[in-house]
Amino acid sequence: MIPSSPATWTIDGEAAGATLASQVARCLLLSEADAIDLIDFGSAQVNGRQERLPSRLVQRGDVVQVHWPRHGTRRAYEIDPRRILFQDRALLAYDKERGIPSQQTPYDAYNNLFAGLLRHLERAGGRQAYVGLHHRLDRDTTGVMVFTLDPRANRKVAQAFETGQVVKEYLAWIGGLPPWETWWREDEIGRRQGHYATVPRGQGKPARTRFEVLLRHEGRSLVGAWPFTGRTHQIRLHLAASGYPIIGDRLYGGSPWDGLLLHAHRLSLPHPVSGREQDWTAPIPQDWPDPRPAASPDARRR
């Protein structure tokens, strides 16, 4: 059974000058080959920063932490090139799958979209690639993400996010039938008992989201969401605070579903080189509820 909490220890004088791999092997009772595999996978941190170089020499007082991978050091994820919505020399837009982190986690630097894109670009180009990350989607949120492929594009893309030039439109299925057609939430978002939560004014970071009911169907509703800030879990928290959590959002009280029904449907921003407006739409996932009435047996036969 894989431990749920990370292993943490401080390097003493006797171990100073040894390699990180040898110390991970010694302290965790592993072979050095298994220790190297853990480090290369991204599971080790030194003084709070991920360290992927097994030969790094540790010093007295260094704090080493190893986060146990949930599924072992299994290198399984690769991007699907068919999900690339746009690519030129400066930008790449991708339709992120459910269940894939946007970036590395404390225990896994391989199975995430950022690393997968790097591998894909390096295989395609035969040389070292660059990918810039400017925003994130939760692991179980699907839809449009945009990355820079040239560091010279970073400043303008970052400015576009900071100044509200990036427009993001989400779709979500929620349980229940809200009495409003449109509404706003401006609850601040902070941390409470180690989790993100809406908090009283002045105790968190400002957050603002506009919602609109697009469809009501069999006791649930499809809503559009337009976040004007980019706080972690913002749409999920604001819908839960409205009394209508997203279906499949077990963390914030949503009714059961096989996955979170939150989708980053559309994103637009000015191109960092040409200045022309770029607009990308990610198709609605195939496993989402279908609100269309089922065809009759006779109609299906026709």
Strands 262-270, 277-281: pairing is antiparallel
Distance CA 38, CA 180 (A): 51
Give SS3 for 136: coil
Which of the 8 DSSP states describes residue 157? H
Measured N-to-C along each axis, helices 32-41 and 20-28 cross at an angle, to the nearest 10 degrees, of 110
Per annotation, catalytic residue among 138, 140, 187, 249: 138
Main-chain phi, psi angles of 263, to 5 degrees: -135, 125
Instruction: Tell me the longest C-alpha to C-alpha distance in the chain.
Output: 81
Clarify whether 37 is annotated catalytic. Answer: no
In the chain, the N- to C-terminal Cα span, in Å, equals 54
Distance CA 184, CA 253 (A): 20
Distance CA 245, CA 87 (A): 35
The DSSP secondary structure of 6-46, one letter per residue, reads -EEEE--TTTTTSBHHHHHHHHHT--HHHHHHHHHHT-EEE
Q: With residue 174 as reference, give the H or E element that holds it.
A: strand 167-175
Distance CA 5, CA 51 (A): 18
Give SS3 for 96: strand
| Residues classed as catalytic | 138
